[in-house]
Amino acid sequence: MPLVACITAVAPLRSEPSHSSEMVSQLLLGELATIIDEVKGFLKVQCQADGYEGWCQANQVMLVSPLVANEYVQNPPKYCADTVGVLKNKDGLTQISIGTPLLLKKPKLAKLGKLQWQLKKVQTIAAGSEAFTQVNIEKVVGQLLNTPYLWGGRSAFGIDCSGLTQLVLKLFGYQLPRDAKQQVNHGEVIGFLQEVKCGDLAFFDDAEGNIIHVGLLLNHDTIVHAYDKVRIDRIDTEGIINTSTKLRTHRLRVIKRIIP
């Protein structure tokens, strides 16, 4: 099936081929996707990184050859390590989010097919090159604090709960699926809060037992999650307690260790 690459900083993936339909996820600049269907002005695609499907504007992606796709395998892209990086090409400046993949041809030059950008203000990192330690985790989390909550978002411009956990773990070399209800199927169950390590994930359910929320534990009683924004709250055996309102907001279901 034909492959496309995202050519804008962030491209919405929608549930239907309409600008007014729900945004279910996003593609970041340089991410590859497979075309599934086409309706005038929109393409239904499956993101190669996490398998998620949605409709994107056809003019926010471009067709790429198998040779370009092979480059991603032979020469894995580096990720933007800045909260917001800046690229430059003939069209001007483009702001990109942390976690944006960049195929580097030179230390300060990224290419995608016939397109290329100068890295004007971008630090890059190879996936998994930094150890999954508390210091490094807290550094990444600190870059994303106060990012506004955005349903379907997975960037520093707006992010949802599972987009946050997916982004953080991606930088450390682990690709999670897109939704919390999918992410909960990964990793090892941790039985007690007292046994958690920084970087473990906590999942939360509704009255029917459906997984509806996820956050990243910093220690046994502190969690970072995307709610109204990316924020740090308290957690106990029952769930999350909002530090601003002192109210309980989410009911704890299970804790999972994704990266040992």
CATH at 10:
2.30.30.40
What would the mean pLDDT of 180-206 be, rounded to a whole number? Answer: 98
Q: How far is CA 143 from the centre of its chain?
A: 14
Question: b/e string for 55-87 if b means 16 or more Cβ within 10 A?
Answer: bbbbebbbebeeebeebbeeeebbbbbbbbbbb
Pick the catalytic residue from 6, 47, 225, 250.
225
Residues 88 and 188 in one domain: no
Q: Is a pLDDT exceeding 90 seen at residue 229?
A: yes
Q: Which helix (H) or strand (E) holds 111?
A: strand 109-112
Listed residue (53, 50, 43) closest to 7, CA to CA: 43
Q: What distances in angstroms separate CA 124 from CA 70, 82, 127, 159, one per listed residue?
A: 21, 8, 10, 21
CA distance 32 to 41: 18
Residues 96 and 184 in one domain: no
Q: Looking at 87, 102, 125, which one is the last position of a domain?
A: 125
Residues 110 and 159 in one domain: no
Q: If DSSP codes are grouped into helix, strand and coil, which group holds residue 48? A: coil
Residues 118 and 149 in one domain: no
197: number of Cβ within 10 Å: 17
Q: What is the CATH number of the domain that holds 217?
A: 3.90.1720.10
Q: Looking at 125, 156, 175, which one is the last position of a domain?
A: 125
Q: Looking at 67, 98, 125, which one is the last position of a domain?
A: 125
Q: How many CA atoms lie within 13 A of 245 on its CB side?
A: 8
Residues 219 and 237 in one domain: yes
Which structural domain range is residue 41 located in? 3-125
CA distance 108 to 93: 14
Q: Report the DSSP pairing between strands 154-155 and 101-102.
A: unpaired
Angle at 130 between CA 227 and CA 225, to 5 degrees: 5
Q: If DSSP codes are grouped into helix, strand and coil, which group holds residue 167? A: helix
Q: Is a pLDDT exceeding 90 seen at residue 230?
A: yes
Pick the catalytic residue from 47, 56, 213, 250.
213
What would the mean pLDDT of 216-220 be, rounded to a whole number? Answer: 99
The pLDDT > 70 percentage for the chain reads 100
161 is catalytic: yes
CA distance 254 to 205: 9
Q: Is a pLDDT exceeding 90 seen at residue 217?
A: yes
19 is catalytic: no
pLDDT, tens digit, for every residue of 95-136? Answer: 999 999 999 999 999 999 999 999 999 999 999 999 999 999
pLDDT, tens digit, for every residue of 78-99? Answer: 999 999 999 999 999 999 999 9
pTM as predicted:
0.96
DSSP class of 194: G
What pLDDT band is residue 47 in, cutting at 50, 70 and 90?
very high
Residues 157 and 194 in one domain: yes
DSSP class of 107: T
198 is catalytic: no
CA distance 34 to 49: 11
Q: Is a pLDDT exceeding 90 seen at residue 73?
A: no
Listed residue (254, 174, 175, 243) closest to 212, CA to CA: 254
What would the mean pLDDT of 36-60 be, rounded to a whole number? Answer: 98
pLDDT, tens digit, for every residue of 142-176? Answer: 999 999 999 999 999 999 999 999 999 999 999 99
Domain count, the chain: 2
Listed residue (163, 116, 117, 142) closest to 218, CA to CA: 142
Pick the catalytic residue from 47, 161, 198, 250.
161
What would the two tokens of residue 1 be?
Answer: 């099936």
